[in-house]
Amino acid sequence: MSAKTREKSAGSQFLELAVIVAIALLLALGIQAFLVKPYRIPSPSMEPTLDIGQRVLVNRIGNRFSDPHVGEIIVFHPPQGADSTLGPKCGAPLQPGQACTRPTSKKSSVNFIKRVVGVPGDHIRIINGHVVRNGKRESDGYINPCSPGEGDCNFPREFVVPKGYYFVMGDNRGASDDSRFWGPVPRAWIIGGAFATYWPPKRIGLL
């Protein structure tokens, strides 16, 4: 084989490798944009289920074909005001002893992760951090319960989750900023369901 032929062959191999790398990167970006997206846990609001710094995978495509269900952990855009101490958090007048029934009208650009505890049409009350859904207390052995007498853990006045909305709460009931304070989340603001954790290695598994 001549030197010129060898150079041509090496050049072809390099071009082929570059094309393969480019395709792999495009596939990875496509998967993240449309199918599965990684998400880092930024706060203790989901402890003990998810710790700060833990990484989860979020199924984005499944959200297009089925609605979230009670018990599912989801990633979503909260309403404007939920991510700030400025401005109103709740989009409806607050009633004594009742959780926020409506979010503000615009969504925030940040992402939150919480657990669905109420779906459209559910009657919701919260007693000592425990969700009473349609008259029955949830089975919630997975939560960090509220401390006795903690003020933000009692919303005994019942309300109905509106059509097209989902009521979400953190598993760390005494340390979670969630639907109790800024209202249920519109279906359109939900990004997808978290289905697995992949970091740290000792916490790898399905959710």
| Residue 122 reports pLDDT greater than 50 | yes
- CATH value at residue 173: 2.10.109.10
| Residue 64 reports pLDDT greater than 90 | no
Residue 172: predicted pLDDT: 96
The domain tally of the chain equals: 2
Residue 148: predicted pLDDT: 72
Catalytic residue among 89, 108, 114, 176: 114
- Backbone φ, ψ for residue 159 (5° rounding): -145, 165
Residue 75 shares a structural domain with residue 20: no
Instruction: Indicate the pLDDT class of residue 83, thresholds 50, 70 and 90.
Output: confident
Catalytic residue among 45, 108, 176, 179: 45
| Residue 40 reports pLDDT greater than 80 | yes
| Residue bearing the bigger pLDDT, 73 or 206 | 73
| Short-list 206, 173, 167, CA closest to 190 | 167
Residue 4 shares a structural domain with residue 92: no
Mean pLDDT of the chain: 85
How many whole angstroms separate alpha carbon 205 and alpha carbon 207? Answer: 7
Q: Which domain holds residue 29?
A: 1-37
Residue 159 shares a structural domain with residue 77: yes
Name the token pair of 203. 């916490």
- Backbone φ, ψ for residue 199 (5° rounding): -155, 140
CB 103 within 8 A of CB 182: yes
Name the token pair of 67. 């609605």
20 φψ region: left (φ > 0), alpha (ψ -120 to 50), beta (else)? alpha
| Residue bearing the bigger pLDDT, 86 or 101 | 101
Residue 108 shares a structural domain with residue 20: no
Residue 88: predicted pLDDT: 76
Residue 131 shares a structural domain with residue 112: yes
Where does residue 148 rank: exposed (0-12), middle (13-18), buried (19+ CB within 10 A)?
A: exposed
Read off the amino acid at residue 188.
A
| Residue 202 reports pLDDT greater than 70 | yes
Residue 24: predicted pLDDT: 45
Catalytic, 109? Answer no
CB 154 within 8 A of CB 97: yes
End-to-end Cα separation, the chain, in angstroms = 57
What is the reported pTM? 0.82
Residue 22 shares a structural domain with residue 101: no
Catalytic, 114? Answer yes
Q: What is the mean pLDDT of residues 172-195?
A: 95
